[in-house]
Amino acid sequence: MMTQPSSTLTPRASDSISPKHMTQNLWRHRMLIWQLIKREVSQRYRASYLGLGWAFLTPLLLLLVYTFVFSVVLKTSWRGEVETPPEEFALIVFSGLAAFSVFSDVISRAPSLVLAVPNYVKKVIFPLEVLPVVALGTALINSGIMVSAVFVGHLLLAHSISATFFLLPLMYLPLVLLCLGLGWFLASLGVYVRDVGQGIGLLVQMIFFLSGVFYPITIVPEPFRSFMLLNPLATIIIGFRQILLWGEMPHWGWWAVWTLLASLFAWLAYIWFFKTKKGFADVM
């Protein structure tokens, strides 16, 4: 399936312009995408004793550090003057990490996705556009593990589940579309501009500190708060917490705006990928 030249593997150039054909193209390759996601997850943890447990243990260890620094040392509170218990603070931060990890995993890998498989570019007719989708699928599995931990932790602490928990897939939607767009754009750009991969790590850290992962946006002074809310990740992270922990409805107006903009961005990035991939073999 991955090595046979076939007209079903690569859509016509005219098809890449239409959102409908973009969706149909990805649906056509759904089995290939699923097989690649399973292979990637199994290879990542195959040689380790804990296996998939590392997907939970790594952010958990970071969470403990963040919780100690910001809840115990700096005494950051989510409820004004009332001190937030460390265990509650941990769940709040972890829910934010569950959203941000999808973004960080995808864009950290995106610039090298095509570069890592030169044989697919030069010797095989392969739908390269599925590579960012596979990276996104792997990131969503890790995020799902973290969300499960938040769900269990909240159940143990509050002895109940959030009434809005089942709305979580809707909150993932703008995040998925944003990451898809960034994946396609950076995967292509990384082929032509190798410096992109070097700067992504710094960019991820900057966005991490500006997205309200471990502090409430409400403590940011007003002029800067409005600016920070222009960051779609900040709004998405707030929505994750509202749905997972507080049983609140997210701001549907912001959700609709970011979903629409992320859809448009994903489509434009898909077009960019198809227009630029014709030159991949020449520069690799």
Which pLDDT does position 3 carry in this prediction? 41
pLDDT of 47 reads 62
Give 243's contacts (C-beta < 8 A, 6+ positions apart): 162, 164, 165, 167, 168, 171, 250
Strand partners, 79: 82
In order along its 284 residues, the chain shows pLDDT tens digits of 444 433 334 444 444 578 888 999 999 999 999 999 999 888 877 766 666 677 777 777 877 787 777 767 767 677 665 677 777 888 898 899 999 999 999 999 999 999 999 988 887 789 999 999 999 999 999 899 889 888 888 888 888 888 899 999 999 999 999 999 999 999 999 999 988 988 898 999 999 999 999 888 888 888 888 888 889 999 999 999 999 999 899 889 999 999 999 999 999 999 999 999 988 988 87
Nearest 10 degrees: Cα torsion 174, 175, 181, 185: 150
Instruction: Tell me how many degrees the CA angle 268-274-277 measures, rounded to the nearest 5.
Output: 130
Give just the sign of the alpha carbon dihedral 144, 64, 81, 226.
Answer: negative
pLDDT at 48: 65
Alpha-carbon distances of 73 from 76, 251, 255, rounded to whole Å: 8, 32, 34
Q: Please choose, from the candidates 92, 66, 64, the residue with its C-alpha nearest in 3D space to the C-alpha of residue 78.
A: 92
What contacts 110, CB < 8 A, 6 or more positions away?
A: 132, 135, 182, 183, 185, 186, 187, 190, 200
Q: What is the pTM of this model?
A: 0.87
Helix 232-241 vs helix 168-192: crossing angle, to nearest 10: 150
**DSSP β-bridge partners for residue 82:** 79
